Amino acid sequence: MPLDPRMPELKFALEAVREAARAAQLVRNRLDVKGIEKRDLSPVTVADYACQALVARRLHQAFPEAALVGEEDARDLRGEGGGETLSQVTQFVREFEAAATPGKVCDWIDCGNGEPVDRFWCLDPIDGTKGYLRGEQYVVALALIESGKVTLGVLACPNLREDCTLGKEASGALVAAVAAEGAWRAPLRGGDDFTQIGVSSCAEMTRARMLRSVEADHTNVGQLGQLSELLGLESDPVCLDSQAKYAVLSAGGGELLVRLLSASRPDYKEKIWDQAAGSIVLEEAGGRISDLEGRALDFTQGRTLAFNRGVCASNGVLHEKALEAISQLS
């Protein structure tokens, strides 16, 4: 049965991420995009704030009592020195929401400060900020989590082709999944012409393609090379940032995605917004995702995957072989 975009939660999610993706592209086209520094030293842009404000506003219009857990907050915008950035954010939000004022924009952004409860939405307004700054791959990622399970996920991927492949003249892909209803793609620019997607059937490890991040902040590049040798991979890695990797993997554009722990951050715990939407898309496409020990991702522990270590994602067929090789890493 085709995906039904009229389902209220799905309809909201599709419309919200499409609008946020348009806002992100508008910012990129009009500004000389430069990152500013958050307290954790990762870059954040006008687009991150504008996208979170818009999604939060639309969520509370559609579902006034809904809880939202988002990556951003408005502390820096409200603080000394944040006025210029806040003015820019408000300008772009006003393109889509005429009622926007600096105060309202900050309040909408801070709606994402909600706590994970039994049922809540999870948002990464710009997943892959550094990819966004480079003009490469990034996504708007939104998921619904109920009783610790991701039940709906949507990825807006402006710089992928409609069929979730990499290449020039990309018009954007919208990827969506609902529990037990499969994974689907549609044109990002509009319309509900959804096509079901599925993972690669490749069962030969030597032919497997590993999807790797361009950025190395949260992984161990040296161990990834060692893992490739242990697995006997002969194909060059496919490098791209953000949960766009899950869209590509789910549509058959690769077989493996492994997020090892960086030697500089051995205790790092994955944030839920970095994995939630992509995880359900992959599983509904027929793939498998776990931590590095093979445990299911546990979304019951607040804002991080506190009980998990790293991530291993695959087309399913090659998962156990990948886990076995991971266990041999030194």
**What are 145-160's pLDDT values in tens digits?**
999 999 999 999 999 9
Residue with tokens 């890695």: 237
**How many whole angstroms separate alpha carbon 317 and alpha carbon 328?**
19
Residue 90 annotated in active site: no
Residue 77 pLDDT level (bands cut at 50, 70, 90): very high
Contact (CB, 8 A) for 219 and 313: no
| pLDDT above 90 as % of the chain | 85
Query: Could you tell me which of 12, 17, 16, 123 has the C-alpha nearest to residue 67?
Result: 123
Strands 311-314 and 288-290: antiparallel
CATH class for the domain made up of 205-327: alpha beta
Global confidence as pTM: 0.96
User: What topology does CATH give the domain 8-197?
Assistant: Fructose-1,6-Bisphosphatase; Chain A, domain 1 (3.30.540)
Indicate if the pLDDT at residue 31 is higher than 80.
yes
Q: What is the largest CA-CA distance in the chain?
A: 57
Chain mean pLDDT for the chain: 94
Indicate if the pLDDT at residue 41 is higher than 60.
no
Average pLDDT (291-298) is: 98
Q: What is the pLDDT of residues 51-72, one digit of tens each?
A: 999 999 999 999 999 999 999 9
Average pLDDT (125-130) is: 94
Average pLDDT (130-135) is: 91
**How many whole angstroms separate alpha carbon 136 and alpha carbon 233?**
25
**How many whole angstroms separate alpha carbon 123 and alpha carbon 126?**
9
Question: What is the signed CA dihedral for 320, 322, 325, 329, rounded to 10 degrees?
Answer: -130
> What was the pLDDT predicted at 140?
98
> What was the pLDDT predicted at 4?
86
Indicate if the pLDDT at residue 279 is higher than 90.
yes
Rg (CA), the chain: 19
Any idea where the domains of the chain sit in the sequence? 8-197, 205-327
Question: What is the signed CA dihedral for 39, 41, 43, 46, rounded to 10 degrees?
Answer: 20
Q: Which of the residues 45, 110, 124, 129 is marked catalytic?
A: 129
Residue 38 pLDDT level (bands cut at 50, 70, 90): low
Indicate if the pLDDT at residue 35 is higher than 70.
no
Residue with tokens 């804002």: 303
Residue 48 annotated in active site: yes
Note the Cα 229 to chain centre separation in Å.
Answer: 28
Average pLDDT (316-328) is: 98
> What was the pLDDT predicted at 34?
65
Q: Which of the residues 45, 48, 73, 90 is marked catalytic?
A: 48
Indicate if the pLDDT at residue 36 is higher than 70.
no
> What was the pLDDT predicted at 174?
98
Helix (H, G, I), strand (E, B) or coil at 171: coil
| pLDDT above 70 as % of the chain | 95
Q: What is the pLDDT of residues 83-112, one digit of tens each?
A: 999 999 999 999 999 999 999 999 999 999
